[in-house]
């Protein structure tokens, strides 16, 4: 659509303990070409794509990159408090662009009320985005809040959201971002003074070329016309009327959609009528990678121009026995056809209550759990153009082009600990519906891949056995996102005396497979009586990647534990908060100096905190450090970072090219001396 002003643009911001910070991708350049003719020869000129993001201060517009003062850092957030931030996105390049600003919660520390109830701060904050608002448009917070409440989309909770808008060269969009805590919030958000809630959000601006420039055929060559709807509720698609089993006489049934896709064209109707594709048939082609029986799933399509006249209801639905990977044409299956120009004319426009050309899918009783749905939007060539009386040309040549593809993997929703255990064993995408307490270890088996979406919930467990324990043992491939896992061991092994050391560990996660921790995740070990208690214990042959979130322990947050010279123990930390008595402990568990365990630690970013003198520490009972490699490229390190503890033979290979070190950085030598490692400038 070309109605740029009516597009709802959502902005992303970063709030840590209610301090808003902005970061972005600035100056990203995509090279494309435009063609002009001068004096009988062709001159090829490279255009560039450049987007600027600014916020308004008393000194005028300033770049947001690295700034931490978008809202008052001294403000006391309480019911009724509000902040307004004026923002501007500018096309600073020479090419038309479309940009996306996305709101993503990636870290949330849960607090606790005086009566022991969990506080999730994001649930008590609201935001609103007002388009085309100039700086200082609102004199009072009441004016800003009134404007937001009158806005079409209204106030939202802090939640994932992203939409697309476009700008020609030199154009700008201005916004007012309003953040507030409603006056209806009560003691459910009043923390106990110890467990203080906070939320961290991410801000990003990503731009690609908009199809304003033409090539020798039309402007279709660089379009991205097929987008998923970010939020079903925003599009009014939470429940839809659909017909079951293609029976046009059947009563309409309400279907809850799990996923929906929309056609979002970048060409106007007038522009499309000049396109070589204008009369080609548009159709959604759907495949599922498993056999599905009748009534186990619904595949539904919607087209606002004529659906009400074609069938009884706005949606046309297909349901029946589907063979794995068998393609289905959604519109053709109903004996209908839709031209490309038509779907561009009736494109998605929630502001004007136009739903456009949509495709949705709904699961029934988790029949599609773990299955992947692939949706293609294709244009099929027609044999002739329609005349004034024949309407759309229905004859096709068999040739088609695909203008967009998206996939969706269905989750297995679980309500109980027993269901969770079974789902982790079976693999696939698993989604929690509520907090859970488990009384025995969860396991992801070897050769099993699981994406565990905690969905804002917490898995917790307290273990009273005198032996090894783990809230979760991962032997397969496991990704954890969007929630918390918390464990407590009542009887950890505390034998750290001069004549002994612990013989078993009590962990939140014991990892011997591939483990990925995404933003918005908390992994915590609350065992507080000493002993070998780790939030994540990473073993020989295991791989751990931290992309964000918080890893927290009273003892060690992450232990790298190995005595194997062949099975690599690898940890990569890209972002997040790692905090404990020691944030990371590199532990060579064997006593033979002829064995050099293969250990790799790569730190690209993150905050590393400690309640002891050491933030990162390595120690060996006798194994050689010769195969231990450490690369520090970024991060913030609160206390000592030390290598070479215990064994005084071959040392680690340590490369430091980035990071901020607030204390010593160095290693212990064979003569028990200490030598500094050069810190980056």
**Coil, strand or helix at 208:** strand
Report CA Rg, the chain: 29
Residue 652 lies in a domain: yes
Are 307 and 160 found together in one domain? no
* Angle CA 368–374–375, to nearest 5: 120
Q: 356: pLDDT confidence band, cut at 50, 70 and 90?
A: low
As a whole number of angstroms, the distance between CA 573 and CA 549 comes to 11
- Residue 500 inside a domain? The answer is yes
Exposure pattern of 547-559 as b/e (b: 16+ CB <10 Å)? bbbbbbbbbbbbb
3-state DSSP assignment of residue 343: helix
Would you state the pLDDT for residue 556? Answer: 94
Asked if residue 246 belongs to a domain, the reply is yes
Q: Which of 624, 679, 673 is nearest to 653 (CA)?
A: 624
Length of the chain: 681
Q: Tell me if 507 sits within 8 A of 543, measured CB to CB.
A: no
The reply to whether 230 and 284 lie within a common domain is yes
> Residue 28 burial (CB < 10 Å; 0-12/13-18/19+)?
middle
Does 550 map to a domain? Answer: no
Whether residue 207 is found in the same domain as residue 333: no
Assess whether 199 and 228 both reside in one domain.
no
Helix (H) or strand (E) holding 420: helix 417-426
Shared-domain flag, residues 19 and 110 = yes
Tell me, yes or no, whether 124 and 182 share the same domain.
yes
Kindly tell me the number of DSSP H helices and DSSP E strands found in the chain. Answer: 5, 55
pTM of the model: 0.58
Q: Are residues 603 and 675 in the same domain?
A: yes
**Residue 102's domain spans which residues?**
1-213
Q: Check residue 171 and give its pLDDT.
A: 82
Give the Cβ contact number of residue 405 at 10 Å: 12
Q: Are residues 228 and 363 in the same domain?
A: yes
Residue 51 has pLDDT above 90, yes or no: no
Mean pLDDT of the chain: 75
Q: Give φ, ψ of 11 to 5 degrees.
A: -105, 155
Segment among 311-325, 524-538, 661-675 with least mean pLDDT: 311-325
For residues 51 and 77, state if they share a domain: yes
Identify the CA nearest to 209 among candidates 351, 46, 376: 46
pLDDT digits (tens, 9 = 90+) for 430-456: 999 999 999 899 999 999 999 999 999
In a domain? residue 629: yes
Burial profile 450-460: b = 16 or more Cβ within 10 angstroms, e = fewer: bbbbbbbbbbb
Q: Which helix (H) or strand (E) holds 144?
A: helix 141-150
pLDDT band at 310 (very low <50, low <70, confident <90, very high): very low
pLDDT value for 152: 40
The partner residues of 329 in beta bridges, in order of sequence, read 285
pLDDT band at 320 (very low <50, low <70, confident <90, very high): low
Picking from 213, 231, 257, the residue at the C-terminal end of a domain is: 213
| 288 and 323 Cβ atoms separated by less than 8 Å | no
Here the tokens at position 248 are 């046009």
DSSP state of 292: B
The residue among 542, 566, 591 that closes a domain is 542
Euclidean distance between CA atoms 570 and 573, whole angstroms:
10
- Give me the pLDDT at residue 577, please: 94
**DSSP character at residue 109:** E
Domains of the chain: total: 4
Residue 419 lies in a domain: no
Q: Could you tell me the two tokens for 258?
A: 């799990």
pLDDT score, position 240: 42
Six-digit token pair at 609? Answer: 């905190």
Query: Which residue in the block uniquely carries the two structure tokens 């490279």?
Result: 46
Q: What value does the mean pLDDT take over residues 569-585?
A: 95
- Residue 189 and residue 91 share a domain: yes
Return the pLDDT at 670: 67
Residue 445 is encoded by which pair of tokens?
Answer: 């088996």
pLDDT at 523 over 60: yes
**pLDDT for position 628:** 96
Q: Is the pLDDT of residue 52 over 90?
A: no
Q: Which of 495, 518, 542 is the last residue of a domain?
A: 542
Whether residues 499 and 605 share a domain: the answer is no
The string of pLDDT tens digits covering residues 128-183 is 777 778 888 888 878 888 877 665 444 555 444 445 566 777 888 888 888 888 87
Pair 555, 579: CB distance under 8 Å: no
Is the model more confident about 544 or about 307? 544
Q: What is the pLDDT of residues 101-113, one digit of tens each?
A: 655 555 667 778 8
**Together in a domain, 533 and 564:** no
Of residues 350 and 140, more confidently modeled: 140
- Is there a domain that residue 549 lies in? no
Q: In a 3-state reduction of DSSP, which class is residue 215? A: coil
Do the Cβ atoms of 378 and 295 come closer than 8 Å?
A: no
Max alpha carbon distance in the chain (Å)?
A: 96
**Which uninterrupted H or E stretch holds 104?**
strand 97-109
Position with higher pLDDT, 96 vs 620: 620
Check if the beta carbon of residue 178 is closer than 8 Å to that of residue 83.
Answer: yes
| 537-555: average pLDDT | 95
pLDDT, average across residues 202-228:
52
Say what the pLDDT of residue 26 is. Answer: 28
């Amino acid at each position: 659509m070309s109605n740029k002003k009516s597009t709802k643009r959502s902005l992303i911001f970063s709030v840590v303990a209610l301090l808003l910070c902005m970061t972005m991708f600035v100056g990203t350049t995509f090279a494309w070409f435009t063609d002009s003719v001068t004096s009988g020869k062709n001159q090829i000129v490279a255009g560039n794509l450049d987007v600027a993001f600014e916020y308004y201060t008393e000194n005028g517009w300033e770049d947001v990159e690295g700034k931490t003062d978008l809202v008052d850092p001294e403000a006391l957030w309480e019911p009724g408090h509000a902040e307004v931030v004026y923002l501007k996105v500018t096309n600073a390049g020479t090419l038309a662009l479309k940009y996306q600003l996305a709101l993503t919660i990636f870290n949330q520390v849960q607090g606790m009320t005086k009566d022991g109830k969990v506080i999730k701060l994001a649930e008590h904050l609201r935001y609103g985005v007002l388009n085309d608002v100039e700086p200082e448009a609102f004199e009072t917070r009441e004016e800003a809040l009134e404007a937001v409440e009158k806005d079409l989309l209204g106030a939202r909770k802090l939640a994932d959201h992203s939409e697309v808008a476009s700008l020609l060269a030199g154009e700008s969009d201005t916004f007012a971002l309003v953040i507030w805590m409603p006056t209806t919030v009560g003691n459910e958000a009043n923390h106990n003074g110890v467990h203080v809630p906070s939320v961290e959000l991410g801000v990003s601006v990503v731009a690609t070329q908009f199809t304003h420039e033409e090539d020798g055929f039309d402007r279709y060559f660089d379009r991205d016309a097929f987008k998923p709807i970010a939020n079903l509720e925003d599009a009014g698609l939470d429940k839809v009327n659909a017909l079951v089993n293609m029976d046009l006489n059947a009563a309409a049934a309400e279907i809850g959609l799990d996923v929906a896709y929309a056609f979002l064209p970048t060409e106007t109707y007038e522009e499309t009528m000049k396109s070589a594709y204008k009369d080609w048939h548009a159709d959604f082609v759907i495949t599922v990678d498993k056999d599905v029986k009748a009534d186990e799933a619904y595949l539904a399509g919607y087209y606002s121009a004529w659906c009400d006249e074609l069938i009884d209801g706005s949606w046309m639905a297909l349901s029946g026995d589907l063979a794995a990977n068998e393609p289905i044409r959604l519109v053709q299956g109903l004996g209908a056809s839709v031209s490309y120009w038509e779907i561009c004319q009736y494109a998605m426009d929630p502001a004007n209550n136009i739903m456009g050309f949509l495709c949705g899918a709904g699961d029934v009783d988790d029949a599609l759990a773990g299955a992947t749905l692939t949706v293609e939007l294709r244009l099929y060539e027609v044999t002739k153009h329609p005349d004034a009386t024949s309407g759309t040309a229905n004859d096709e040549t068999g040739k088609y082009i695909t203008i967009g593809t998206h996939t969706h993997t269905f989750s297995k929703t679980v309500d109980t600990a027993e269901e969770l255990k079974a789902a982790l064993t079976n693999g696939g995408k698993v989604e929690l519906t509520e907090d859970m307490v488990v009384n025995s270890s969860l396991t992801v088996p070897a050769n099993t891949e699981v994406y565990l979406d905690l969905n804002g919930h917490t898995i917790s467990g307290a273990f009273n056995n005198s032996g090894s324990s783990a809230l979760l043992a991962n032997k397969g491939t496991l990704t954890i996102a969007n929630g918390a896992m918390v464990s407590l061991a009542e009887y950890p092994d505390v034998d750290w005396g001069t004549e002994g050391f612990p013989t078993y560990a009590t962990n939140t996660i014991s990892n011997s497979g591939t483990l990925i921790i995404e933003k918005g995740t908390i992994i915590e070990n609350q065992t507080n009586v000493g002993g070998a208690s780790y939030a994540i214990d990473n073993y020989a042959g295991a791989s751990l990647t931290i992309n964000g979130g918080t890893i927290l322990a009273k003892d060690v947050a992450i232990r790298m534990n190995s005595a194997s010279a062949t099975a690599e123990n690898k940890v990569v930390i890209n972002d997040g908060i790692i905090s404990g008595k020691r944030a990371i402990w590199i532990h060579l568990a064997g006593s033979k100096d002829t064995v050099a365990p293969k250990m790799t630690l790569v730190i690209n970013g993150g905050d590393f905190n400690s309640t002891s003198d050491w933030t990162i520490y390595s120690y060996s009972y006798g194994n050689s450090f010769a195969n231990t490699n450490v690369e520090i490229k970024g991060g913030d390190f609160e206390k000592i970072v030390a290598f070479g503890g215990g064994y005084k033979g071959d040392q680690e290979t340590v490369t430091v090219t980035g990071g901020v070190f607030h204390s010593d950085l160095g290693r212990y030598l064979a003569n028990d001396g200490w030598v500094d490692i050069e810190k980056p400038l």
